[in-house]
Chain A
């Protein structure tokens, strides 16, 4: 399967702590994306990192990409209860099709 793999499957932390989620993939990519999904809702695009980039920041989000290891990580700093959601990595194949990882369920306790 070309599906991405994410770990951990679930992460539970306290407000103010940092949350790190990892993603591994099996094919060559042009870019890797991270999405967020609140319970029972659609997905929202968070950040895209190109294959020639190693790190990218957006607000409290920091994404790294290691193409030699075919892995990426998403770091959320100073987490808030509102960050509670599922987080998915995804990469594009042909025709803009996205292949998603299984996701990490993040719970941030106030």
Chain B
């Protein structure tokens, strides 16, 4: 069966520090991968999606970047975090129509 992992679960970082969040999927190949951000009490905002290795599409201009170095690995990064980067970050994969979400990373930028 397929599983999706995200780490870390929680992260507290100072403003201006770098960021690296990792997402891996097991049990499937060539999935579509997605990064979302959820502000408190709000819906999800799609940040990046990838349909294959090295292929990244950005949905909104921002302080973040994404990379897909391997088929089942999706990384969300920042060189310098801003206060506004705080939020709940969710990774998801999809074989087609339905999406399967990871447990999320709670990021607090102080």
Contact = CB atoms under 8 A, between A and B. Distances in A.
Given A3-B43, A88-B43, A97 B101 contact: no
A84 interface: no
Given A33-B98, A92-B97, A96-B32, A41 B44 contact: no
A67 interface: no
Contact of B94 (A40, A41, A44, A96): A96
Nearest to B10: A40
A20 interface: no
B70 interface: no
Interface stretch (A56-64, A71-79, A98-106): A98-106
Interface in B42-65: 42-44, 46, 49, 51, 57, 59
A43 interface: yes
Interface string A1-42: 001100000000000000000000000000101000000111
Contacts of B57: 95
B68 to A, nearest CB: 14
Given A33-B98, A95-B51, A101 B43 contact: yes
Interface string B73-98: 00000000000000010101010111
Interface of B: 32, 34, 41-44, 46, 49, 51, 57, 59, 88, 90, 92, 94, 96-104, 106
Interface of A: 3-4, 31, 33, 40-45, 48, 88, 92, 95-103, 105
